[in-house]
Structure formats: structure tokens, C-alpha cells
């Protein structure tokens, strides 16, 4: 099996400084960059490789990019970037499962959700956090379960905090939530078993809550459930 060549990413840096000095001056050029994170939401996947152009996002020191694994934000040059995902364990590991152009704007944050069932895709989101106020956090809800119907998330049954009728891959803006001890989380869909859990937001943090997995499977690495990501 051929090995796909990727180069490693550095940790996130918001302003990349390039020394453009010459013999006559000591001027500096500041290049504003973007930031990108990634999540593996492909049910049953044991470990994938994801990269931008020739740069690998899942560095070896971070461990295996397995199902429901979240990769922290890393710096990325803005502009049009080629996102590719590979399965290194496959006999066709040198062939991309998906290859997709994504445009990054300088100074913006992005997340790449690797999704799918029979066919792998990448869902790119711009993570606009807005202003984070003391005593509050932010969250959003995403339906990333390829077999689920439209889903509704509720927190403590408070209507203003509900995110309703989200179809597969639907995107929603972040909502502001007051810090509390614990919120009772429910995810419901027509004909679906209700998902229950706890959500304890922390001060000035940002979260994505997402449904994932296959409603037709009882396999631990595939079955329907939910995850909570703290963006960092």
C-alpha cells in the first residue's frame, strides 16, 4: 500500500509573522491566518487521516483520528484549500475517500466534520463565536446521524434554548446560555428513542452538541448517540 505524504501542522497561532527584512530595512509583514479543527463522525471508522493540501491535521502525537474524535484548532493559511480524507488501513489507502475544496477567510475559525455512511463527505462550518460574556457560554446543535429524521434538542425543557427540527447536516448559529450547575439534555425525533444526558457549560466556553451514529446499529462504534465538543 502506498503512503500518502502529509506534512505536520503547528499549533494555532493567530498572527503569522514573516520576516521580510533586507539589508536596507527591518520591516516586518504580518499575515493574518485562519484556524481549523476537525471531527471524525463516520460511524465505525477505526482511524482516518485528514489533511489540507499536503498538510496533515491529525498529528501522530494526538493519537488515532477515530470515530467521534475531535482535533483542536490549528493554524491554516487562508484561501482555497484542498481537504482530503484517507483510510490508511485500507488496501486503497492512497486513494482519497473524499477530496473537496474549502475556502478559508483570514482571521476566521472553521471546523471540518468528516461524515457519511456509504460515502464519506466533509461538512465545513465557519465557527462564529461572537462576543463571549462572563457568566455565559455558547452552544449549537447539529444532526450528523445519516439515518436519523429531523431532530430537536432541548435543555431543561426551556423553549428559548431549544433547537428544533434539524435535518441531517443542518447548520445553526451558536446560542447563548447562562452558566448553571447542570442542564438536562434531551434529543428527540419522530419514532426515535429519546437521547438523555447532562450538559454543564463553563464560563465563556463554546460547545457543539451533535447527534451521530446509525439508528439501525447496536454496535458500540456505530450506534446512535450524541457527543459534546468544547471548542479549543
Q: Structural domain boundaries of the chain?
A: 1-127, 130-232
Integer Cα distance of 172 and 141 in angstroms: 7
**Quick check: do 1-127 and 130-232 share a fold?**
yes
Question: pLDDT grade, residue 5 (50/70/90)?
Answer: very low
Q: Hey, what CATH class is 1-127 in? A: mainly beta
Fold assignment, 130-232: Immunoglobulin-like (2.60.40)
Q: Check residue 118 and report its DSSP letter.
A: S
Maximum distance among all Cα pairs of the chain, rounded to whole angstroms: 72
Integer Cα distance of 226 and 154 in angstroms: 13
Residue 118: pLDDT above 80?
yes
Burial of 140 (0-12, 13-18, 19+ CB in 10 A): buried
The predicted pLDDT at position 155 comes to 98
Residue 114: pLDDT above 60?
yes
Q: Tell me what the mean pLDDT of segment 157-162 comes to.
A: 96
Q: What is the pLDDT of residues 213-228, one digit of tens each?
A: 999 999 999 999 999 9
- Residue 17, classed as helix, strand or coil, is strand
Residue 16: pLDDT above 70?
no
* Residue whose C-alpha is closest to residue 41's, from 69, 16, 21: 69
Integer Cα distance of 44 and 177 in angstroms: 33
Amino acid at each position: 500500500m502506498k503512503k500518502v505524504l502529509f506534512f505536520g501542522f503547528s499549533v494555532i497561532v493567530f498572527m503569522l509573522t514573516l520576516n521580510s527584512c533586507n539589508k536596507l530595512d527591518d520591516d516586518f509583514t504580518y499575515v493574518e491566518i485562519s484556524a481549523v479543527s476537525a471531527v471524525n463522525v463516520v460511524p465505525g471508522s477505526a482511524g482516518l487521516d485528514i489533511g489540507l493540501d499536503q498538510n496533515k491535521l491529525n498529528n501522530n502525537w494526538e493519537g488515532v483520528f477515530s470515530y467521534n474524535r475531535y482535533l483542536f484548532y490549528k493554524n491554516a493559511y487562508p484561501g482555497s484549500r484542498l481537504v482530503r480524507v484517507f483510510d490508511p488501513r485500507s488496501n486503497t489507502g492512497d486513494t482519497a475517500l473524499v477530496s473537496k475544496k474549502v475556502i478559508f477567510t483570514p482571521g476566521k475559525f472553521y471546523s471540518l466534520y468528516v461524515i457519511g455512511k456509504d460515502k464519506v463527505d466533509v461538512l465545513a462550518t465557519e465557527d462564529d463565536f461572537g462576543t463571549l460574556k462572563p457568566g455565559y457560554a455558547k452552544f449549537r446543535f447539529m444532526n450528523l446521524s445519516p439515518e436519523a429524521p429531523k431532530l430537536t434538542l432541548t435543555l431543561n425543557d426551556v423553549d428559548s434554548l431549544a433547537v428544533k427540527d434539524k435535518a441531517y447536516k443542518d447548520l445553526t448559529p451558536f446560542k447563548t446560555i447562562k452558566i448553571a450547575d447542570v442542564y438536562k439534555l434531551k434529543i428527540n425525533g419522530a419514532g426515535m428513542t429519546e437521547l438523555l444526558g447532562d450538559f454543564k457549560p463553563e464560563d465563556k466556553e463554546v460547545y457543539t452538541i451533535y447527534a451521530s451514529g446509525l439508528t439501525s446499529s447496536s454496535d458500540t462504534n456505530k450506534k446512535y448517540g450524541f457527543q459534546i465538543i468544547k471548542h479549543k
